Amino acid sequence: LNAFTGHLSAILAVASKNAAAVDQTGCFPNETLSALRQARLLGSMVPRTMGGDGVSLSAAMETCQALGACCGASGMILAMHQIQIACLVSHAQHHPWHQALLRRIAGEQLLLASVTSEATTGGNLRTSDCAPVLDGERFRISKEAPTVSYASKADVLLVTARRAEDAPRSDQRLIAVLREDAQVEVVGEWDTLGMRGTCSHAVSLRAEGLNCQILEEEFGEIAERTMVPVSHLLWGAVWTGIAGDAEARARAWLRRSMRQNGSTSHPAAYHLTEMSGLLRTMRARLHDATACFEAARGAPEGSPAQAADTNLLKVDLSEAALRVALLAMRVCGMAGYRNGTEFSVGRHLRDLQSAPLMIHNDRIAADTATLLVAQRSAFPRG
């Protein structure tokens, strides 16, 4: 066992214990984050040479899946943090400022958040209106962001912006902003159906820093090579964890019901076949997609086929996870519908409603359709 998995059961116990309260009150899962920090898991994906554990993406996915099964919001927070780490490691680790930041993340267990969405551009990741104002060696930036998870708890924010004030909206850069150099004003409520503990408020961000905090590589490249595929894999792992727990509750309910009735069958048990089939497909898709992502890492450029695959993964997993939770509710009936029972799946169902919206499936499907139309058949046509 490495540091990443060694403390996992203790962390999962904390997350499970607090999940219902986090959901009911919409408060940040402070206890779970403390447990993650204590186990030094916030630096787990930072390379060993910079003080982290250098764990693989698949190991990070396993942890997010396990945490998501206990508390969807906590799993999603860890996933979002790891996505930002992956971007820094893949696109900025050789830059002295970002290298020092990665060392700090591992050493001080800093929490990273993402500020990609913008009031004027919605969920279009590849468009920004805000831009850094350069002044000598320094920049300052303002961004109106409609949804930023745990903005007031984060130590570092990765912010997308136009390269410069006169750059087109699609010519973007990613900027690492330190919390101590930023004013984060919460301007909107986060009173949502699910994922309540992510505290994804609308914020008005004002920040400044050194120009070298702006990653040199074009954001389009970072998004395509790392942010989008890693997001889809880590989000997918969290959703699979939530769906897996809903299925486990349904199985437990069926076992109890059959025991109580002294029966070896139950009319709702057939739902388990669909749920188990969906979960197996989800896990297999995640496994294959991770292998493809790792294999493509060294390639000089990404391919449209890969981009389509990673998009389809997100759309399919988000819908499948929801279906599993819905079926779990059907199986458990009132025991699942009611909060506070060992078979409750309301939180699972509500948390998973965010999955198709988190970068809207309609938007992703439209982009994917364009990529798919351009694809050639693998076989000669007659």
| Residues in touch with ligand FAD (CB under 6 A) | 80, 113-117, 122-123, 145, 147-149, 195, 198, 200, 354, 357-360, 362-363, 366
CA atoms within 13 A on the CB side of 50: 27
Strand arrangement of the beta sheet that strand 201-210 belongs to? 133-135, 138-148, 201-210, 182-186
| Least distance in angstroms from the C-beta of 340 to ligand FAD | 23
The three-class DSSP label of residue 328 is helix
In contact, 88 and 102? CB cutoff 8 Å: yes
Q: How far apart are CA 12 and CA 80, in angstroms?
A: 18
**Any idea what DSSP says for residue 224?**
I
**Beta carbons within 8 Å of 239's beta carbon, 6+ residues apart:** 68, 282, 317, 318, 321, 352, 355
Q: Output the smallest distance, CB 114 to ligand FAD, in A.
A: 4
The SS3 of residue 211 is helix
H runs (alpha helix) in the chain: 3-6, 8-25, 30-38, 57-70, 72-92, 96-108, 219-222, 228-261, 271-296, 304-332, 334-337, 346-352, 361-373
Between the two ends of the chain, the Cα-to-Cα distance in Å is: 55
In angstroms, give the least distance from the CB of 48 to ligand FAD.
28
Residue 210 or 366 having the CB closest to ligand FAD: 366
Nearer of residues 291 and 366 to ligand FAD, judged by Cβ: 366
Judged by beta carbon, residue 200 or residue 344, the one nearer ligand FAD is: 200
d(CA 224, CA 226): 6
- Taking the complex as a whole, how short is the minimal distance between the CB of residue 200 and ligand FAD, in angstroms? 4
Q: Is residue 224 within 8 Å of residue 302, measured between CB atoms? A: yes
Smallest gap from Cβ 72 to ligand FAD, in A, equals 9
Rounded least distance, CB 374 to ligand FAD, Å: 17
- Comparison of 230 and 275: residue with beta carbon closer to ligand FAD: 230
CB of 34 to ligand FAD, least distance (A): 21
What are the two backbone dihedrals, phi and then psi, of residue 265, each rounded to the nearest 5 degrees? Answer: -145, 165
**CB 377 to ligand FAD: min, Å:** 26
**283 vs 360 by CB, closer to ligand FAD:** 360
3-class secondary structure, 357? coil
Q: How far is the CB of 110 from ligand FAD (least distance, A)?
A: 16
**Which of 80/92 has CB closer to ligand FAD?**
80
How far, in Å, CA of 377 to CA of 93, rounded?
Answer: 39
CA dist list (Å): 236 to 136, 214, 228: 42, 29, 12
**Please, which residue, 166 or 189, has the CB nearer to ligand FAD?**
189
